[in-house]
Amino acid sequence: MKLLRWGPAGQEKPGMLDAQGTARDLSGLVPDIAGPVLSDAGLAMLRGLDPETLPEVPQDARLGVCVGGTGKVICIGLNYSDHAAETGAEVPSEPITFMKATSALCGPNDPIIIPQGSKSTDWEVELAIIIGTQARYIPQSEAFSHIAGYTIGNDVSERDWQKHRSGQWTKGKSSDNFGPVGPWLVTRDEVTDPQDLNLWLSVNGTRMQDGTTKTMVYGVSFLVSYLSQFFTLLPGDIIMTGTPPGVGLGMKPPRFLKPGDLVELGIDGLGQQRQEVIDDPRV
């Protein structure tokens, strides 16, 4: 099952895809793709619907972040052995964990906004986990039961701010529109093995990243269990699981995004994103 949210930013409505790939409106049945709807019981209720009996979403409707009510966006750094190698870093002995501000979240096809003063805005295609039920101190064997599903994330990053502006990585990760998520939440029953997915990213039609979740250092079930030892994971929380090699920072010389660029990315079975790169219109 593929769930989505559509409509203007801040006014998104819930929806789902039918078997033909047409978006259908769920707003008459559930308030949002959030909270109890993300539980096994909530997803089972949606799975029992006949999507073709639901109103069609306008074809030109904007897609928003595919999950609502997100309290935390937790990111994992250097979680692909080949990406760590390209940046000259050692594989961490424990997952590197940092937060991305929820205000950075945006729809999968919304523009990437270059923030004022940025010269090093970079791309990162990532498998994102959507938490479905509360998890605290859970063993790895129970991790999947707390996952609602998966989606695509682009962990857009300002590298100079991340590395040189003192302190944690959060400042380089949290500008507005630095968190495209979607296009849809694919429920976990449709993803046979999250550790066997190809993921890719192109800039202006040139393939930059072409990897597989097989090379993740810390896998999906480990990460959910591990993070639950430090804080409670809640329905709607998003875990960005790291990126494969091919980021702009790792190129020689480094290459970063500029206004007018087009970023496209995708993951097997999870859809695709498309983002135009623009200057901040508020400056």
Compute the average pLDDT of residues 180-191.
98
Closest by alpha carbon to 102, among 78, 136, 73?
Answer: 73
pLDDT tens-digit series, residues 56-93: 999 999 999 999 999 999 999 989 987 777 777 777 89
User: What is the three-state SS of 24-62?
Assistant: EECCCCCCCCCHHHHCHHHHHHHHCCCHHHCCECCCCCC
- The reported pLDDT for the residue numbered 91 is 79
> What is the distance of C-alpha 102 from the center of its chain?
12
Compute the average pLDDT of residues 205-216.
96
pLDDT tens-digit series, residues 235-282: 999 999 999 999 999 999 999 999 999 999 999 999 999 999 999 998
- The reported pLDDT for the residue numbered 100 is 97
DSSP codes, 52-117: GGSPBPPTTPPB--SS-----EEEEES-BHHHHHHTTPPPPSS-EEEEE-GGGEE-TTSPEEE-TT
- The reported pLDDT for the residue numbered 90 is 78
Domain ranges for the chain = 68-279
pLDDT tens-digit series, residues 83-117: 777 777 777 899 999 999 999 999 999 999 999 99
Is this prediction's pTM over 0.85?
Answer: yes
68-279 folds as Fumarylacetoacetate hydrolase; domain 2 (3.90.850)
Tokens at residue 210, please? 């072409």
Give 218's DSSP letter: S
Over 90: is that where the pLDDT of 12 sits?
Answer: yes
Please give the angle made by the CA atoms of 227, 232 and 236, to the nearest 5 degrees. 95
pLDDT tens-digit series, residues 138-177: 999 999 999 999 999 999 999 999 888 877 788 999 999 9
- The reported pLDDT for the residue numbered 163 is 83
Residue type, 118: S
- The reported pLDDT for the residue numbered 166 is 76
